[in-house]
Amino acid sequence: MPTIYETIRADIVVAMKARNSAVTLSLRTADAAIQRASLDQSKPIDDALALATLRKAVKNLADAKVEFAKGGRTDLIEANDIEIKLLEKYLPQGLDSAKLEALIVEVIAETGALTKKEMGKVIGALKKRPEAGLIDFGAASKIVQAKLP
């Protein structure tokens, strides 16, 4: 089974042959970001690196979309929506809120965290879990804060 990065590279070729410049540009940008992350971190390109880079790109696009909305730039909002949908095809579905909450309760029990001061311990343990690639840590942080007194 090809890696996420290999799939993106293959899709760049397909988009180029189809002369779809918008898709080609978006995928080339993602490809360059993954390569840059690999060089910056001195790590080989693997699925974890590609996923982290794609998630960061989607988050940046979503943040830019908010700013474009403030400026009334509907053309750029639409372009960002298209690019976000394109990149999200390569991201796995995250954990739903019920599964995430159950996982957090389990990790809180494992770490023995009792107060919000120990929140870092819980988040650190979550990052070491095999499901870490599927976790939205922003949502996880809010749930942990709600669970710890």
- pTM over cut 0.95: no
Mean pLDDT, all residues of the chain: 87
Residues of the chain with CATH 1.10.10: 97-147
Stretch 24-50: mean pLDDT: 91
pLDDT at 35 over 90: yes
Tokens of 74: 């509907």
- Which is nearest to 32 in space by CA: 3, 55, 18, 53? 53
Tokens of 12: 């760049």
CATH tag, 97-147: 1.10.10
Residues of the chain with CATH 1.10.1510.10: 4-88
Query: What is the pLDDT confidence band of residue 86, given thresholds at 50, 70 and 90?
Result: very high
CA angle 135, 90, 126 (to 5 degrees): 15
pLDDT at 131 over 80: no
Per-residue model confidence (pLDDT) at position 17 = 96
Superfamily of domain 4-88: Uncharacterised protein YqeY/AIM41, N-terminal domain (1.10.1510.10)
